[in-house]
Amino acid sequence: MNEQCSKRKNCRLCNSEKLCQCFKLEPTPPANAFVKKEHLDEPQTTFPLDVYFCENCYHVQLLDIVDPKELFENYVYVSGTSSTFVNHFEEYSKFIIKNYLSGDSSFVVDIGSNDGTLLQFFKKNGCHILGVDPAKKIANNATKNGIETLPLFFDDKVSKMIQDKYGSADVITANNVFAHIDNLTGFITNVRNLLTHNGIFSFEVSYLADVIQKTLFDMTYHEHLSYHSVLSLVPFFESNDMELIEAVKVDIHGGSLRGIVQLKNGPYKVGKSVKNAIKIEKELHLDKADTFQKFATNINEIKNKFQSLIIKLKQDGNTIAAYGAPAKATTLLYHFGIDSSIIDFIVDDSTLKQGLYSPGKHIPILSPEAIYQKKPNYLIILAWNFTEEILKKHAKYKNEIGHFIVPLPTLMVI
């Protein structure tokens, strides 16, 4: 095994070795491993994207683990570039404050805090705040912008250091982070130790039920080690002296799960949302391995339709570009076999990505201004979860230049 990648043999949640491979995607480089022009001649290592199902607790997961330093220390994704995401985090902060905070001097810690988009809303409401994020450049910029952020991975030393210096946390959040961690037991132990007795841990993850229902296969990439269901999470938290008290479905990222967790015997009752989620997951057969084998068939059907459309458009002499270079785009481009012979360029709103080249495929990432300079006939929306925002922002392209292609959840030409 490559020294940048290791493979575990047991389930990340329950430690069972009763694991079966349920589907596999094309191997890719790390999904955010963008390349500078001067490094284009250097080969990029690809790693397996094989997905496994635990027959004991039903957890769906990757077993091939890419070194977290490779994935996160030079991270180029920032939350604040999307108004959809900013609005989501504002709503999220209001939800937490209304339901779980009693005073305005509460202490909130955000793990994987990125540019501090979520924490800024807690700060505006009088909370004491602290971010923790290993992406040094982004973390340091957040601190400069008034959101104190530790440029570190959250481990036992950091958890103890925060408690010693700042005290216990009333709220700990981890958004689109809880799926990224290999040692979840160690992580949740550190969370538990940092929380006040009446505190809550809140996390958001891509929801397995939505992934299956909408065939969102491109949510599978090396950062996402886990594909969470409430079925698997309830016993996991119980085994770690904690309790999942709410399981709320939210629309962000094509469908996410917001979990609220307290210490065992904490002050809150378990809400109906937990029982309701488990009922729905059993109806979707998320406790059966063959559900995910059928999922692989659905992926191939979408792939065939997409490739047929693109091949016909190219044969007719059309130029094609793409909008958005999120992590999920790397999975989609590789699995659908799309490279620079098909897509001329990708535009992205993040200035951190502009001027770089896409992981492995080395398609240039440009500013959205390139749409109006180069005028491609078609734009594939790779950041499909922000389709509505992109269509609104670039109505001029649709009205005057060309058409958008939305690959998922349903292939559409607009």
pLDDT in tens, 171-214: 999 998 999 999 999 999 999 999 999 999 999 999 999 999 99
Please check whether residue 243 is in contact with residue 291, taking contact to mean a CB–CB distance below 8 angstroms.
no
Res 107: pLDDT: 97
Average pLDDT of the segment spanning 59-78: 81
* Interval 318-358: pLDDT, tens: 999 999 999 999 999 999 999 999 999 999 999 989 999 99
* Interval 243-274: pLDDT, tens: 999 999 998 878 899 999 999 999 999 999 99
* Interval 5-39: pLDDT, tens: 899 999 999 999 999 999 999 999 999 999 999 99
Residue 98's Cβ-side half-sphere holds a number of Cα atoms within 13 Å equal to 6
Res 251: pLDDT: 85
Looking at the DSSP assignment, which residues form a beta bridge with residue 347? 323, 366
Confidence band of 4 (pLDDT split at 50, 70, 90): confident
Q: Does domain 79-289 have CATH number 3.40.50.150?
A: yes
Q: From CA 171, how far away is CA 196, in angstroms rounded?
A: 8
- The answer on pLDDT for 63 being more than 90 is yes
Q: From CA 56, how far away is CA 16, in angstroms rounded?
A: 7
Pick from 242, 277, 239: which is nearest to 258 by CA? 277
Confidence band of 84 (pLDDT split at 50, 70, 90): confident
- The torsion region of residue 168 among left (phi > 0), alpha (psi -120 to 50) and beta comes to beta
Helices in 23-182 by DSSP H: which ranges?
68-72, 83-100, 117-124, 136-144, 156-166
Res 45: pLDDT: 92
Residue 316 in tokens: 């007719």
Please check whether residue 110 is in contact with residue 174, taking contact to mean a CB–CB distance below 8 angstroms.
yes
DSSP-derived secondary structure letter, 320:
E
Res 74: pLDDT: 66
Res 1: pLDDT: 47
Res 2: pLDDT: 57
Domain ranges of the chain: 79-289
Average pLDDT of the segment spanning 86-97: 94
